[in-house]
């Protein structure tokens, strides 16, 4: 988590590794996250179970995929409207 803003994927990975028993030094070497940040992440996401956090990650990925599909359909729709306009 070398960037300032972390996404749910990174948070999920860090918390899973932490709960699996990895030390703060190992997490720092792997993700670049300090022990105090791990504590803050645990406090922030303690009410969310790991399964709910994983579901949130999956929903965000699906939401992104659906947004891309919608954008592509809008572009196709616009092209078809332009073609129809040219024909008449």
Q: CB-based contacts of 10: which residues, under 8 Å, 6+ apart?
A: 1, 31
How far is 23 from 20, CA to CA, in rounded Å?
A: 9
What is the percent of the chain where pLDDT is above 70?
A: 86
Q: What is this structure's pTM?
A: 0.48
Residue 26 · residue 20 · CB < 8 Å: no
Residue 3 pLDDT > 60, yes or no? no
Q: What is the pLDDT of residue 62?
A: 95
Name which of 4, 3, 30 is nearest 18 in CA terms.
30
């Amino acid at each position: 988590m070398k960037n300032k803003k972390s996404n749910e994927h990174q948070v999920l990975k860090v918390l899973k590794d932490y709960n699996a028993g990895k030390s703060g030094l190992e997490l720092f070497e792997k993700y670049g996250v300090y022990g105090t940040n791990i504590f803050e992440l645990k406090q922030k996401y303690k009410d969310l179970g790991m399964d709910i956090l994983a579901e949130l990650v999956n929903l965000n990925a699906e939401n992104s995929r659906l947004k891309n599909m919608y954008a592509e359909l809008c572009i196709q729709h616009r092209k078809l409207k332009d073609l129809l306009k040219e024909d008449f």
